[in-house]
Amino acid sequence: MPARQAFTLIEAMIASVILAVTVTAVSLPFTAGAQNEQDSARVTLAVALAEELMEEILSKPFADPNGVQTPGPEAGETGRSLYDNIDDYHGYSEADGQIKDVNGVACTGLLAKGLSRGALAEYVYLFGQSTAQSPSIIRVTVTVSYKGRAVSTLQRLVYRNGA
């Protein structure tokens, strides 16, 4: 009876390496696909959060009821619920883990982790318009960032009606 040949240790190790490389190569697209899906879902959330804050800002009147025309909240306006016009949102920001909707409910969940949000409300003068006049336009910018990198930015120009 002829002797049977078996795998040598070297052949078994080579087969193991080939198997490991193959499994890695096959699973890499699935891992990348899952990461891309998560990134896409995060961008969708960022856009929704930017739109939500923009709508809140645009629901406020152009002019301050007290006649103050300085970007940023006035004394006593210590939070969003107390903002009474568009320019109060200038410099507004919410850090990672601090994003809240208009009702004060925190945005939580895996996709919200790492997101921050901010707003600017800047008066714009038209070409040739004297800066001695009251500005008739505010540029509102809302940015949502992921780990410090802007993911969604919305801008709107708001015209003073009846100016």
- What is the per-residue pLDDT for 113? 92
Is 95 strand, coil or helix? Answer: coil
Separation of alpha carbons 120 and 71, rounded Å: 9
- What is the per-residue pLDDT for 120? 97
Contacts 24+ apart (CB under 8 A), 66-69: 69/123, 69/134, 69/135
Examine residue 3 and state whether it is found in any structural domain, yes or no: no
Task: List, as one string, the DSSP characters of 17-82.
Answer: HHHHHHHHHHHHHHHHHHHHHHHHHHHHHHHHHHHHHHHHHHTS-SS-TT----SSPPTT--SGGG
Examine residue 78 and state whether it is found in any structural domain, yes or no: yes
If pLDDT is split at 50, 70 and 90, which confidence band does 163 have? very low
Examine residue 45 and state whether it is found in any structural domain, yes or no: yes
Looking at the predicted structure, is the pLDDT value of residue 162 above 60? no
Examine residue 65 and state whether it is found in any structural domain, yes or no: yes
Examine residue 4 and state whether it is found in any structural domain, yes or no: no
Percent of the chain with pLDDT over 90: 44
Higher-confidence position of 23 and 148: 148
Q: What is the pLDDT of residues 93-117, one digit of tens each?
A: 999 989 988 888 888 888 889 999 9
Which segment, 1-10, 22-31, 49-58, 124-133, is predicted with the most confidence on average? 49-58
CB half-sphere exposure, 6, CA atoms < 13 A: 2
Examine residue 83 and state whether it is found in any structural domain, yes or no: yes
Looking at the predicted structure, is the pLDDT value of residue 156 above 70? yes
User: Which of 77-81, 89-93, 151-155 is the least confident region?
Assistant: 77-81
Examine residue 92 and state whether it is found in any structural domain, yes or no: yes
Q: What is the pLDDT of residues 21-54, one digit of tens each?
A: 888 777 777 676 666 678 888 999 999 999 999 9
- What is the per-residue pLDDT for 94? 95
The whole domain housing 126 covers: 9-159
- Number of domains comprising the chain: 1
Identify which of 89, 82, 81 has the alpha carbon closest to the alpha carbon of residue 58: 89
